[in-house]
Amino acid sequence: MTAAIVECPTCGAPVEWGPQSPSRPFCSDRCKLIDLGAWASEAHAIPGNDLEDDLFSGDMPPREH
């Protein structure tokens, strides 16, 4: 049985999905940290629920993303 090959979400390099690739789905710790930094800086974001924003964020300015 052959391991699946996936594409690194950061750089697009092929990554073998298995224990030999501990940073999977990333090709390296560097790519994993680049992705984490994008989430921390809000370059990546998951859309929220407008109703929840109204209920819990009354004192905060609206999100810009």
57-64: long-range contacts, CB 8 A cutoff, minimum separation 24 = none
Q: Quote the distance between the C-alpha of residue 65 and its chain's center.
A: 16
Q: Which fold has domain 5-53?
A: Erythroid Transcription Factor GATA-1; Chain A (3.30.50)
Mean of the per-residue pLDDT values of the chain: 84
Q: Known binding site for Zn(2+): residues? A: 8, 11, 27, 31
Average pLDDT over residues 39-44: 90
Residue ranges at the known binding site:
8, 11, 27, 31
Average pLDDT over residues 45-52: 72
Global pTM value: 0.65
pLDDT in tens, 2-33: 789 999 999 999 999 999 999 999 999 999 99
pLDDT at 3: 80
Give the residue from 10, 37, 38, 39 showing the smallest Cα distance to 24. 10
